[in-house]
Chains A and B, each alone.
Chain A
């Protein structure tokens, strides 16, 4: 109960004061002039107390009317429990980052969050609605608003931690979506980033957001990177990170699909990084490193895959350029990417058409030239001349353009720089930019089957220029570099971003067609037949994928491990690696503004989520009371007036 406009109570004081004044004035003796006071000798004087206390019924009725009207003006209201149905739903928001899968007790942190959520649901009144949202890279609605406890329990059971970090932007998007809910319960193992909550104050009442911290500090040993080394030549290296504040014993196992197995027992120092050398590998191929430890809470970052081309199978490569220096630079880079290639470099005019039956090249690089008769499983067109071929349209040459290359801070050194990776990184928030001005860039219009991987940063009449692209054509994979690489442009240390872009494309061209090694959360595209494809997740779940306009299917691996994309008779294996420096750190920091992680603050939700209530003003009732009081007073006055009139006639 309270008042909407307490200041209007001043009217009450004023009106009551005026009423009392009028009453006392009316009650005051009427001074009349009489002929002589001697006639009143026997008339007694009034008693003072009687005068003050004699408040007749009309006074109280008028006072009641004024009080009722004044209180109505002040907006008297009462809180009443709201009916269950119109009450705003509460939202249960779950952090589904990789750390929520850490086992730091009897179950994972997500299990603890789930239990806490179930407790909140169980304590809530019947009929209260909840919605469930999970977030990691992006918010996902797991259960729309419902009061069905069975559906809520089922949605809670479906929650699973992902092998990705929980992005602040995803949390922010989730909270934005929930700004109209009655309350938000956020279950996470770490304080929400300030960037996620920074300016949400205008949209979300902080009192409606309850953060439930789950989890306790747990040890974690993670593989940061995996370098297979040069088969038969140099050792490989595996960088491991111990996030625990104590030493952790583990065994690093490195094995290849060609039978190499290396086991390295180790004791990781507290909060340190260790480089574990192995090999050299006898042959290349798929390399898998894993950690075996009984004192490790997070398994998602215990496996890592890498690929190194086998050295015993020599591939054939062709480099065409009118500039000898460019042929030399590109050949060196190509051999650096795949040492098992036999590279043939020549001027475009020296190339002779292959004879029927000749095997196609594994990769062909054509700089400032295009020879349609070159047959290769993969092609890299560098600074292609106009007008272009096979759907590729080459326009004018732009004097200069700015290449904006993004390097992810959580770089995976063993994978190099994939085009998809760059594209993803370009959208990421935790990136740094490095601009490079490049002379001589040709405007290229790509066919639908080829996607841009790097664009220029500067504005031009036609918008950002295509600086690099990757896709598929009739012969196989194709990549395009739109800028010129003469004058040893690629091997100039000042032009490192251009070299990295080129190496990224060469790696994607030279990697096996049926194998991809990506990072969790990356967008992965695989060439597929028109009938579509089927994605097999690491846990065996199969999901149909539809073919896009570029003839590829795409998906986003959110679990660490081996995915398979089956299309027609072909199967492409996609290995997703996970490591995030922040997410893999399972230390729980209790800040002053955050509740402790454990035990779960069972009463917190009730404390900050008061029972929903509705405000009902009593204006109508009060006005009715005032009218009733005035009517009663009118009746009394009329009743009293009749005898007086009769007396007046008599006098």
Chain B
């Protein structure tokens, strides 16, 4: 179970060198000015600048005026109030192929990103979802702000089992019903659903001003098409549908091409909607994905 690495001290120490990448930091109160990533009202002094008309005189440094007879305005490091929701697809497709351990890989990534978010005192929660018997099961933790609360995520990371079908739209429906402030929404899934489904889901998240990260998880075997034998009877893990295939060399090439098409379509959609798309193929590569790929793609900094 690869998700167990999420709570290893060495792994966490390596994560301490990273920070969760957030493009937009928003103030807690609606309508206030956005100061950028590190500027705003707060209690931590950031810098000084010359006074200009319109500045709030509350931030005038009166001591400097008295000593230097210059009007200086104090700037403070803004206090971010970004709600980070790391949502993991726990449908049956995440459990197949079993050898790939896609769900464990997804949970490991989710825990790592949550850990990074906690390092910035962001409000972080972890959620899993799957459609089971017509009902969307969206399991969520509470929002945690500090890394001391990171172990609270262990039960959900260790206890999630794959099952059900992937219905991203239904998940987003339920998520939006919470009417939470827009924040960072990291969706980790294999996106093996109708493209219309994930396009609808991702589009609506982005439309509600969420900053969305789409982390596309696939297994090694799944992505390579390395199935045992040539003549196979394959069963869809979510629908149970069965189909007989002949996985000859040509068929494997077509299979890989199909995956590439699928991935390209997802990536292109994300690009069009300003959604960060980050592929994470192969659980065995989790170190490389977190330490190299994610920083390169801006998922972490």
Q: A41 vs B190: C-alpha distance in the bound complex, in angstroms?
A: 17
A123 within 8 A of B: no
When distances are taken between beta carbons in the complex, the residues of chain A under 8 Å from B228 are 30, 32
Given contacts A40-B245, A43-B246, A44-B251, contact A51 B258 (CB under 8 A): no
B255 within 8 A of A: yes
B209-247 interface mask toward A, CB cutoff 8 Å, 1 = contact, 0 = none?
Answer: 000000000011110101111011111111101111111
Q: Are B233 and A29 in contact (CB under 8 A)?
A: yes
Q: Are B222 and A45 in contact (CB under 8 A)?
A: no
Q: Are B257 and A31 in contact (CB under 8 A)?
A: no
Given contacts A43-B255, A45-B245, contact A34 B233 (CB under 8 A): no
Q: Which of A29, A30, A36 has the most CB of B within 10 A?
A: A36
Contact among B98, B222, B226, B241 with A39 in the assembled complex (CB-CB below 8 Å): B222
Q: A34 vs B231: C-alpha distance in the bound complex, in angstroms?
A: 14
CB distance from A625 to the nearest CB of B (A): 31
Given contacts A43-B254, A45-B246, contact A32 B235 (CB under 8 A): yes
Q: A28 vs B233: C-alpha distance in the bound complex, in angstroms?
A: 9
Q: Is the interface of B mostly helix, strand, loop or mixed?
A: mixed
Which A5-48 residues sit within 8 Å CB-CB of chain B?
A: 27-47
Contact among B96, B241, B257 with A35 in the assembled complex (CB-CB below 8 Å): B96
CB distance from A272 to the nearest CB of B (A): 101
When distances are taken between beta carbons in the complex, the residues of chain A under 8 Å from B258 are 38-43
Q: Are A45 and B192 in contact (CB under 8 A)?
A: no
When distances are taken between beta carbons in the complex, the residues of chain B under 8 Å from A36 are 93, 190, 192-193, 236-238
CB distance from B156 to the nearest CB of A (A): 22
Q: Are A37 and B241 in contact (CB under 8 A)?
A: yes
Q: Are B243 and A37 in contact (CB under 8 A)?
A: yes
Contact among A27, A35, A40, A41 with B231 in the assembled complex (CB-CB below 8 Å): A27
Q: Are A39 and B259 in contact (CB under 8 A)?
A: yes
CB distance from B215 to the nearest CB of A (A): 16
Q: Are A29 and B247 in contact (CB under 8 A)?
A: no
B92-121 interface mask toward A, CB cutoff 8 Å, 1 = contact, 0 = none?
Answer: 011011100010000000000000000000
Query: Can you name the residue of chain A whose Cβ is closest to the Cβ of B194?
Result: A38
B48 within 8 A of A: no
Q: A521 vs B255: C-alpha distance in the bound complex, in angstroms?
A: 109
Query: Can you name the residue of chain A whose Cβ is closest to the Cβ of B233?
Result: A29
Query: Can you name the residue of chain A whose Cβ is closest to the Cβ of B94?
Result: A35
Query: Can you name the residue of chain A whose Cβ is closest to the Cβ of B166?
Result: A36
Q: Are A30 and B97 in contact (CB under 8 A)?
A: no
B59 within 8 A of A: no
B262 within 8 A of A: yes
Q: Are A30 and B235 in contact (CB under 8 A)?
A: no
A353 within 8 A of B: no
Contact among B96, B224, B247, B255 with A33 in the assembled complex (CB-CB below 8 Å): B96
Contact among A27, A45, A51, A651 with B224 in the assembled complex (CB-CB below 8 Å): A651
Q: A29 vs B245: C-alpha distance in the bound complex, in angstroms?
A: 9
Which B55-99 residues sit within 8 Å CB-CB of chain A?
A: 93-94, 96-98
Q: A30 vs B235: C-alpha distance in the bound complex, in angstroms?
A: 10
CB distance from B122 to the nearest CB of A (A): 32
Given contacts A35-B102, A40-B243, contact A29 B232 (CB under 8 A): yes
Q: A38 vs B262: C-alpha distance in the bound complex, in angstroms?
A: 10
B243-285 interface mask toward A, CB cutoff 8 Å, 1 = contact, 0 = none?
Answer: 1111100010011011100100000000000000000000000
Q: A32 vs B235: C-alpha distance in the bound complex, in angstroms?
A: 6
Q: Are A31 and B233 in contact (CB under 8 A)?
A: yes
Q: Are B246 and A42 in contact (CB under 8 A)?
A: no
Q: Are B245 and A32 in contact (CB under 8 A)?
A: no
Query: Can you name the residue of chain A whose Cβ is closest to the Cβ of B243?
Result: A37
Task: List 12 extra interface pairs beyond A28-B231, A651-B224, CB under 8 A.
Answer: A30-B229, A30-B231, A34-B235, A35-B94, A35-B219, A37-B239, A39-B255, A40-B243, A40-B258, A42-B254, A42-B257, A43-B245
Residues of B within 8 A of A (CB): 93-94, 96-98, 102, 190, 192-193, 219-222, 224, 226-229, 231-239, 241-247, 251, 254-255, 257-259, 262
Please provide the 8 A-B residue pairs with the shortest distance between their CB atoms, ordered closest to farther. A29-B233, A35-B93, A36-B192, A46-B246, A42-B254, A31-B233, A35-B96, A37-B236
* 19 CB < 8 A contacts A-B: A27-B231, A30-B229, A32-B228, A33-B96, A33-B236, A34-B97, A35-B102, A36-B236, A37-B243, A39-B222, A39-B255, A39-B259, A42-B257, A43-B247, A44-B251, A45-B243, A45-B244, A46-B246, A47-B246
